[in-house]
Amino acid sequence: MIDPLQASVQIASSGLEAQSDRLRIVSENLANANSTGRTPGADPYRRKTVTFASEMDRAAGVRVVKIKDLGLDRSPFRVEYEPNHPAAGQDGYVKLPNVNMLIEMADMRETNRSYEANLQVVKQTRSMVAMTIDLLKGA
């Protein structure tokens, strides 16, 4: 068992990494919001989802957070009538990614807030440790 204050920094750090991965997925979704298929009728980019899981860190004896798995959003694709598009099907409709900008923006904001919260834990821990060490310096 390690020092609880050091453990909280480690846990917060795992949270920071998990949120960074989440932001990566959000940016992938946003960047591919208009990626269609190459061939007629082909499926476009499918929105990725991310789930978190609590994981035991045996060395430190604490539960850290990890990315559990990257899933795919199974919701239907948007369709648009555009017969001269290379990915247009027989009926002239093009399938567009099921990425909703509003959802991605909300997800990004949540990622940001969560990152801030974890960062705040690190800051708080640091100041608590510094205060404790300052006890030695006084007098």
> In the complex, which residues of this chain contact other proteins (CB under 8 A)?
6, 9-10, 13, 16-17, 20, 122, 126, 129-130, 133, 136-137
CB of 10 to other proteins, least distance (A): 7
Q: Which residues pair with 56 in a beta bridge?
A: 63
By beta-carbon proximity to other proteins, the closer residue of 16 and 88 is 16
Separation CA 92–CA 39 (nearest Å): 13
Shortest Cβ distance from residue 125 to other proteins (Å)? 9
d(CA 102, CA 22): 16
With the C-alpha atoms ordered 94, 89, 40, 77, is the resulting torsion angle positive or negative? positive
Q: How far is the CB of 71 from other proteins (least distance, A)?
A: 23
If the CB atoms of residues 7 and 99 are measured against other proteins, the closer one turns out to be: 7
Nearer to other proteins, 26 or 96 (CB): 26
Q: How far is the CB of 80 from other proteins (least distance, A)?
A: 39
